[in-house]
Structure 1
């Protein structure tokens, strides 16, 4: 276990170090930063590295086997209504448990947090049921995506502009570090009992469909809820004078995030306990291992959230504001792209997805190729988001062509890559996006005098959209490579056969 933990720490260090160095470089060049704020950021980076390592280890040991076990067991239950009910409850529970959703809910204070959270949770629960039924009854993923995304775009025309960006953002934040490992593992478990040749392809796509439910739910909330105009809570950069104050700030904040993670994990653990009592899926040693894994997950996620919320969120806001006021506001676009390229590597759920893809494709799509594709996609999305902050152009001008192009590519891309691509969109927009990139955009927008709700919000949905394109393009390249490899192998086999025939003819002569 110690060896695996060391590997996870090295992986986390390589993920967090690039963005840390970029911020350090900016702090001594374009955006001079108070020493106290910089120390906050560095301590946050350390907590990120340790937290990500333990979280990653914990999900491998607990969330993944538990999700696969539930996914394999559910279809064996003869009562379809019971399966639907259980799936809906799972979807609601894991969504309420998602820390990113708490962050988004806090940004829209005119809607009570509970109203927004339950709206999103019900949306995820309903579409989780749909995703489960799609896997069991072999419904084509691309068809469902086309129908529902067209429905989203039509419905958004009847919603106040302030709600549109929040709705699209809600689809991204619900698929974070708690949700993704569990949903993806459950998808693999569901597909494993089918045994047909398309089962592997259908193991992906659950995250993709679960990202649509919250968008539709919040759009409907925007139409019917009369709670006043949506607002937002501005990020404040704490003033700290020495390292003792930094330590106090983290010490005071840690219990809050420990409570948040504990309240998120307890419903899932209780559900898993009831599942085990009913179905007796796991033996004693497996349960012990899963219990230890949940402990690692709890410890890692508590440190991770404390690091990003206390250390990264205020620095993101500070950087965005300072860059906008530097007299070279156009730098927001290239620097935003650079930050986005490296920031996605620090998303915990991204590593979970990449490992699953490499395992399912037997190494045909490597973690490295997935990470490069995601990084390019997120870099483009942050660049476009900064362009929106500078110009105030509507999110529709980017989201509608982007989704139409992504849906169009589904007709040309291998089936498995459609699921991987749309899953990647939700996975890329995790806690790093909501606690660093969103404050970064808000800080820049405030400094430029823009409308934060229409110009800064939406960056999460942009981060969730562009991987749909880059991963599907990766799928096209992979398909071409495999076709050329097969053609070369076939040609070599034919040549070898011809040589054998010639040799036989010579022997007869």
Structure 2
């Protein structure tokens, strides 16, 4: 067990070190940073590394087995009258427990927090039902996405400007480190009774559909409540003089995030205990392993959220202000692209998705391929977001063009790439985006005199959009190379996808 934890921690170290190095390099060159936010950032980076190590191990031990066991048991029942309400309840309760949703609710202007939380949770529950029915009856994911995104963009014409960015951001924020592992493996279990051509493509696409529910829910609330009455409150960076004060800041916040994580994990634990008592009847050794995994998940996510919220958020906000205040503020674009390329590697849910893709596809789509695609997509999205922020251009045209390209590609690439690409959009826009990239955009926006709610918000939506295009383009390249390759036994073929071995060129 210690060996596995050590391995996971080393993996998280390699994921977090690049973004840490970039921030330090900026601090000693073009954007000198006071010691207070820099020390917060460095301590946050340590907590991030430890948290990711514990969390990813906990996911392997508990979250993934629970999701797959629950999904398989639901599939075995074969009764829609039981499966449909269960899907709604699972989607709603797990979403309500997502820590990032609490942050989103506090940032959405003019709508009571609990009303937004309940609406978004209901949206995810409804679309989890749609995702299950799609897997059950073999419906085309491309057509479903086309229909619902058409509805989204029609509604976007009428939604107040202040709600528009937050609505699109909500689709990415609510599919975070709690929701994603559970829904992904739930899909694997439920897909066993589906009529898709293969279980691999049928098991993906659930996160993609569940990302639409929050967007529609927030838009409907925006239409109901009308114009915004909210205002943006600038982030205050604490004044730290000693290491004791530094530790006290983290010590004060740690119990709060521990309570949030405990509340977040509780629905999953209760679902497991319910199915264990009435259906699963797992052996004692397996139950103990799952409970230990839940403890690891709790420790890891608490460390992670404390690190990114207390340490990364002030640093991101300060860097954004300083970069946008330079005489050559357009440097925000290339700097943002470099940060985006590396920061996606520190998203805990991304590691879960990449591992799940590699496992389910039998290695046809490797973790390396997924990470490269997501990194490129994140770089493009952050670069476009910074360009939009500096130039003052509206969000909707960028999203309309991006989603039009993404939806058009769904009819030209292997179905499994469409499912994985649209899943990855919600996964990439997780905690690191909300706690570092969004504050970075907020700081830059305040420095250039923009509107925070309409200009800075929307970066999560951009992050969720570009992987849809990039990963499907990878699928198109794979498909084209497949057509031009002679038949060979050493090439793995699965769902019309080929992973070329490293010795292909030899």
TM-score band w.r.t. shorter chain: over 0.9
Mean CA deviation greater in 265-274 or 364-373:
265-274
- The alignment status of 1:46 with 2:71, answered yes or no, reads no
Contact 1:69 1:281 in 2 (8 A): no
The structure-2 alpha-carbon separation of the partners of 1:197 and 1:150, relative to structure 1 and needing over 3 Å to count, comes to closer
Superposition pairs of residues 62-461 of structure 1, within 5 angstroms: 62-194=62-194, 197-225=197-225, 228-461=228-461
TM-score by length of 2: 0.94
CA distance in 1, matches of 2:197, 2:148: 26
Mean CA deviation greater in 329-338 or 233-242:
233-242
The structure-2 alpha-carbon separation of the partners of 1:210 and 1:281, relative to structure 1 and needing over 3 Å to count, comes to farther
Please report how far the alpha carbon of residue 258 of structure 1 lies from its aligned counterpart in structure 2 after TM superposition.
0.3
CA distance in 2, matches of 1:298, 1:227: 39
Contact 1:175 1:427 in 2 (8 A): yes
Please report how far the alpha carbon of residue 486 of structure 1 lies from its aligned counterpart in structure 2 after TM superposition.
4.6
Please report how far the alpha carbon of residue 112 of structure 1 lies from its aligned counterpart in structure 2 after TM superposition.
2.2
The structure-2 alpha-carbon separation of the partners of 1:195 and 1:144, relative to structure 1 and needing over 3 Å to count, comes to closer
CA distance in 2, matches of 1:132, 1:52: 30
CA distance in 1, matches of 2:24, 2:166: 31
Please report how far the alpha carbon of residue 109 of structure 1 lies from its aligned counterpart in structure 2 after TM superposition.
5.0
Please report how far the alpha carbon of residue 197 of structure 1 lies from its aligned counterpart in structure 2 after TM superposition.
4.2
Contact 2:136 2:196 in 1 (8 A): no
Q: Return structure 1 stretches of 4+ with deviation > 4 angstroms.
A: 193-197
Contact 2:340 2:378 in 1 (8 A): yes
**1:277-314 residue CA offsets vs partner (Å, 9 max, x unmatched):** 22135222211111111000000000000000000001
RMSD: 1.5
Contact 1:88 1:128 in 2 (8 A): yes
Flag structure 2 segments of 5+ consecutive residues without an equivalent: 491-506
**1:66-98 residue CA offsets vs partner (Å, 9 max, x unmatched):** 100111111222431221111101001110111
Aligned-partner SS, 2:125: helix
Please report how far the alpha carbon of residue 193 of structure 1 lies from its aligned counterpart in structure 2 after TM superposition.
4.2
CA distance in 1, matches of 2:422, 2:228: 33
CA distance in 2, matches of 1:454, 1:467: 22
The structure-2 alpha-carbon separation of the partners of 1:84 and 1:486, relative to structure 1 and needing over 3 Å to count, comes to farther
CA distance in 1, matches of 2:266, 2:350: 24
The structure-2 alpha-carbon separation of the partners of 1:28 and 1:359, relative to structure 1 and needing over 3 Å to count, comes to same
Contact 1:39 1:243 in 2 (8 A): no
**1:190-222 residue CA offsets vs partner (Å, 9 max, x unmatched):** 123458742211110000000001101110000
CA distance in 2, matches of 1:97, 1:361: 30
CA distance in 2, matches of 1:66, 1:433: 27
CA distance in 1, matches of 2:291, 2:219: 39
CA distance in 1, matches of 2:351, 2:293: 17
Please report how far the alpha carbon of residue 487 of structure 1 lies from its aligned counterpart in structure 2 after TM superposition.
3.9
**1:397-432 residue CA offsets vs partner (Å, 9 max, x unmatched):** 210010000000011100100000000000000000
Please report how far the alpha carbon of residue 273 of structure 1 lies from its aligned counterpart in structure 2 after TM superposition.
1.0
Flag structure 1 segments of 5+ consecutive residues without an equivalent: 491-509
**1:474-502 residue CA offsets vs partner (Å, 9 max, x unmatched):** 11122233333454669xxxxxxxxxxxx
Aligned position for 1:504: none
TM-score by length of 1: 0.94
